[in-house]
Every structure is written in C-alpha cells, then in structure tokens.
Structure 1
Amino acid sequence: MIGRLQGILAVKHPPELLIDVQGVGYEVQMPMTCFYELPDVGQQVTVWIHFVVREDAQLLFGFNTVDERALFRLLLRAQGVGPKLALTIMSSMSGGQFVAAIQNKDIVMLTKIPGVGKKTADRLVVELKDRLKDFTGADYNTGLPGTEAGQGLMAPTPSAKSEALSALVALGYKPNQAEQVMRKVATDDMSAEDIIRQALKAMM
C-alpha cells in the first residue's frame, strides 16, 4: 500500500503530476484545489496518497495534507461516488466550501458539479452531514478556485488553452461547456492552471 510519496516533481499536467522517487516515476491524479499549491517542477514535493487497485489499473490519487485525503476517503464511502467523481467534487470547490454545502444542505451548489445530479446531491447530504459535523473549513485546503495560490511552473504557452480544456474535460465537464467558459475567462497571457482556476470559479 502506498500512503505517501516524497520526491522531485517531474511533470505537471493538470490534473495529473509525475513524481520522481529515486528514479521511479509515479503518476498521480490530484484535485485542482490541491494542484494549485504544488511547487515548481524540479522541486521537492511530498504528497499523501490514496491507492486504488482495480482489475485493469492501479491508480494513485494525491493530496497535500492528510485532511484532504481524509475528505476524499469520506466521499468514496458515499453511495455512487467513485474516485473520479470524488476528484471532480474536490476540484470544483475547496474542502471548506464542500463541508459548508453539506451542512447547509445546499443542493443547488452541489448540482453545479458535473456528475452530481439532485439524487446524488441529496444522498451526499444525508450520508455525509453527520460525518462532517465536527469539521470546519480550516480542516481542509483553502485553495478555492479563483484565489491566489502558488503560481506553479506553467509559463504562458500557446498550448495553455488546450491543456486547460483537456483538464476540464478530464474532470467531467462537457467540451462545449468548458470551451464556452474558457472563451470568457482565458487570455493569451494566462497559464493552464490560471485558466482552469478561473473556469472552475465561473462554473460554480
């Protein structure tokens, strides 16, 4: 079981990263709210891991803190929520926002997340409200979409928009929806991470 990785951040391709641990590269998927806080490529990084083993794949999901990983694992315990949907939920809003949405029974906010319909939102509230009652926003990341976080390594490039589009689609947004929002928020001088951050903010 892999619980934590510490090594050199080799590649950042949202929502995935590659960590070089003594010559072995580990591909890790990470919520965008965590991704924003990563250091530049080439720097040391420590990531807490949730390890998923399937018949056709072994998947690593990474988080900057143990609390973020704990929230991810709580989401997986909810009926109908798999790793991909949990990743999308945590990319669409911060941990603090999600806890508040559950405690306030904010179905409208929850259903803005791709893959979360009204039935799923209702089920999340019912199943997680008691489990999250002792948590506050301070227990989880504050990397809200739209907040100023670490700049990351991605310098503006002609491919930033296409990279951002690929990330949004990987998170469950429809290509047409992602493209429409990106046209409103993206500028030529923005990095892929900045475009994703602003697009997620606009869609919530």
Structure 2
Amino acid sequence: MIGHLEGRLRHKAPDYIVIDVHGVGYIVYVPLSTFYDLPGPGDTVALNIHTHIREDAIQLYGFRTVAEKDMFLRLITVNGVGPRLAVNILSGLTPDDLHRIILQQEGFRLKSIPGVGKKIAERILLELRDKMSVKKGREAEQPAPAAESSYGDAYSALVNLGYRPAEAEKALGKAIKSLGADPPVEKLLKETLRLLA
C-alpha cells in the first residue's frame, strides 16, 4: 500500500495529477486545495497518499497535509460517501471548516457542495459528529500529529483489507490503549490485527 509519493510532477489537471517516480507515472486524484498548492510540471512534489482498492481498480488519492488525508479517511467511512465525493467535499471546504460544520451541524453548508444532497449531508453530520473532538484556538489550525497519521494509515489498511469501518475503529482504539501514545504504524497495525484475529 502506498502512503506517500515523492517525484517529478509530469501532468497537472484540476482533478488529477501524474507523479513520475523513477520512470513510473502514478495517477493521483487530488482535491482543489492540494491542486492549487502544487508546483509547475517538472518540479518535485510530495504528497500524503491514500490507496483505495476496488475490485476493478487501484486508485491513489493525494493530499498536501495530514489533516486533509485524515478528514478524507473520516469522510469515506460515511455510508454513501466514496473517495471521489470525499475529494469533491475537500475541494470546497478545508478540514477545519468541515470540522466546524460537523460540530455545529450546519447541513446547509455541506449541501452547497456539488454531489452532496440532503441525505448525504445528514449522514455526514450524524455519522461524524461523535468522531470529531472539539479543538480550541490555534490547535485547530495546526497539522494533525504523527499519531493521527499512524491511525489514519492503519485504519485505511484495515478497511482495504475488508474490515468494517466500525470494527477497525474499535480495534484501533484498543491497540492504541495497549501500545501507548504515538505508536509506529507497523506496530499499531500488527497489534490491531492480533486483536481482530
């Protein structure tokens, strides 16, 4: 599974880019927030990657910050929200905006995003409300810590292995309690798989 890509930017379009890593071109779907921060073609680019595996395709989704990737991973746990829609949502709202919208239950702001209707907006608000912690002051503006990145990568791996999102979250929570704060993703995944066995 690919979690990070660094290479030369070969192609740049609003919905996807191509990153050349030692002669291999990877198509990576990106939100507009990431697209706007990209350098020009030919320059080096590095992105946090989520590998999405389907029966008929393996797709890569890239994000400039861990916070964007973390919010993407939360969004795709919502019933009816696939990776493309999650990218679309992050193209219109920053992770901090989305966090605030979910905590304040502002469905009308979500419905302004193309592809998000009333039912999807309600599901996002309902299913993610309890997963959002209240952040105060400048803490909300800071990038996610390494522990969240480990959690996000491990969570993504478990879901891609076929575990249900709720099952993966519960097991990851137990694993983090037993391993302590900020475990490396390999240890976290190993412990979580042991708990799920």
What TM-score do you get using the length of structure 1 for normalisation?
Answer: 0.65
* Conserved 8 A contact 2:67-2:95: no
Match of 1:71 in 2: 71
For 1:102 and 1:123, the matched residues in 2 are separated by 10
**For each residue in 1:36-62, what CA deviation from the matched residue of structure 2 results, as whole angstroms up to 9, or x when unmatched?**
111121111111110011122111000
Match of 1:146 in 2: none
Following superposition, the deviation at residue 66 of structure 1 comes to 1.7
Match of 1:101 in 2: 101
Match of 1:48 in 2: 48
Which of residues 116, 120, 141 is equivalent to 1:138? 141
Q: What RMSD over aligned residues (CA atoms) do the two structures have, in Å?
A: 1.7
User: Match for 1:119: what amino acid?
Assistant: K
Q: Which runs of 4+ in 1 moved over 6 A?
A: none
What SS does the corresponding residue of 1:126 show, helix, strand or coil?
Answer: helix
Match of 1:189 in 2: none
List runs of 5+ in structure 1 lacking aligned partners: 142-204
For 2:121 and 2:140, the matched residues in 1 are separated by 19
For 1:34 and 1:103, the matched residues in 2 are separated by 24
For 1:114 and 1:131, the matched residues in 2 are separated by 24
Match of 2:91 in 1: 91
Match of 2:163 in 1: none
The verdict on how the C-alpha distance between 1:140 and 1:113 changes in structure 2, with shifts beyond 3 A counting, is farther
Kindly report which structure 2 residues correspond to 1:158-197, keeping only aligned pairs within 5 A, or say none: none
What SS does the corresponding residue of 2:133 show, helix, strand or coil?
Answer: coil
For 1:58 and 1:37, the matched residues in 2 are separated by 25
For 1:64 and 1:89, the matched residues in 2 are separated by 15
* Conserved 8 A contact 1:7-1:22: yes
Following superposition, the deviation at residue 134 of structure 1 comes to 3.8
> How many matched pairs?
141
What TM-score do you get using the length of structure 2 for normalisation?
Answer: 0.67
What SS does the corresponding residue of 1:119 show, helix, strand or coil?
Answer: helix
For 1:8 and 1:53, the matched residues in 2 are separated by 24
Following superposition, the deviation at residue 113 of structure 1 comes to 1.2
For 2:123 and 2:21, the matched residues in 1 are separated by 39
What SS does the corresponding residue of 1:100 show, helix, strand or coil?
Answer: helix
Percent of matched pairs sharing the same residue: 42
Following superposition, the deviation at residue 20 of structure 1 comes to 0.6
For 1:137 and 1:106, the matched residues in 2 are separated by 18
* Conserved 8 A contact 2:34-2:64: yes
For 2:44 and 2:121, the matched residues in 1 are separated by 38
* Conserved 8 A contact 2:20-2:26: yes
What SS does the corresponding residue of 1:91 show, helix, strand or coil?
Answer: helix
For 1:4 and 1:26, the matched residues in 2 are separated by 12
Following superposition, the deviation at residue 140 of structure 1 comes to 5.7
User: Match for 1:40: what amino acid?
Assistant: G
